[in-house]
Amino acid sequence: MYRILIVEDDRGIAGAVQTQLEAWGLEARCVSDFRNVLGEFAQYQPHLVLMDIGLPFFNGFHWCSQIRTVSQVPIVFLSSASDNMNLVMAMNMGADDFIAKPFDQGVLIAKVQAMLRRAYDYAGAVPVLEHRGAMLNTGDGTLTYQGKNIDLTKNEYRILLALMQNKGSVVSRERLMELLWEGDSFVDENTLTVNVNRLRKKLDGAGLKAFITTKFGVGYLIS
């Protein structure tokens, strides 16, 4: 089932759109924290985003550009501010379509379905894992935080991927060495320690202090 994230602060409009989408067999969720739209996006993993322009705290253009740093998911703007300047701005920020309010619900559903067909050909979205604002794109192996890329080696990516996939649980050193051994180099205890320390240093330097916790004699976790 396709997931649609609705970023709309008018609860009446958001609720009506959600009801209509669900009536057509789509899953839909309305953003609740307009300070943390990117976090809710990463947690929900939508296949398409419906985005208003006028939002509390930061406008839709801001959140569109933030989403574009971690995902190419289709974004459709819904806005009463439908003059040419806003339309051009939306497209320049990475939007895929623009629907002016007030809109016909049937037209909205038809556009959403057409966008899903074009974007995925009924295949899933590229997953993005999120923790404390850090976004790990498992499609291209990139890590971003506050709009900036953090360069990772292959081993650092594999370590971070395992930890973020098991958030809240300890990943043993043995399991991490097995994952690294699947690559093209020999990995022993010392090699793992060096890789984890380098990864920590990069995360600390980007502002992600104490991102990885050590459980001595067992392994590592993020929580």
Question: Of 84-98, 110-124, 176-190, where does the model show the most confidence?
Answer: 110-124
Instruction: Report the SS3 class of residue 102.
Output: coil
Domains annotated on the chain, with CATH: 3-120 (3.40.50.2300), 128-221 (1.10.10.10)
pTM of the model: 0.60
Query: What is the rounded CA–CA span in Å between residue 139 and residue 70?
Result: 10
Residue 124 pLDDT > 60? no
Which has the closest alpha carbon to 60: 86, 24, 29? 86
Output the pLDDT for position 123.
Answer: 46
**What whole-number percentage of the chain has pLDDT above 70?**
88
**Confidence label for 183 from pLDDT (cuts 50, 70 and 90):** low
CA angle 46, 47, 50 (to 5 degrees): 75
Q: What is the pLDDT of residue 187?
A: 62
Within the chain, strands assigned E span 3-7, 27-30, 48-51, 75-79, 97-100, 128-131, 134-137, 142-145, 148-150, 171-172, 213-215, 219-221
User: Has residue 119 got a pLDDT over 70?
Assistant: yes
- Identify residue 51 by its one-letter amino acid code: M
Res. 122: pLDDT tops 50: no
Lowest mean pLDDT among 13-17, 180-184, 198-202: 180-184
pLDDT tens sequence across 17-56: 999 899 888 899 999 999 889 989 988 889 999 988 888 9
- In this predicted model, what pLDDT tens digit does every residue of 129-176 receive, in sequence order? 888 888 888 777 889 988 788 989 888 998 998 898 888 889 998 888
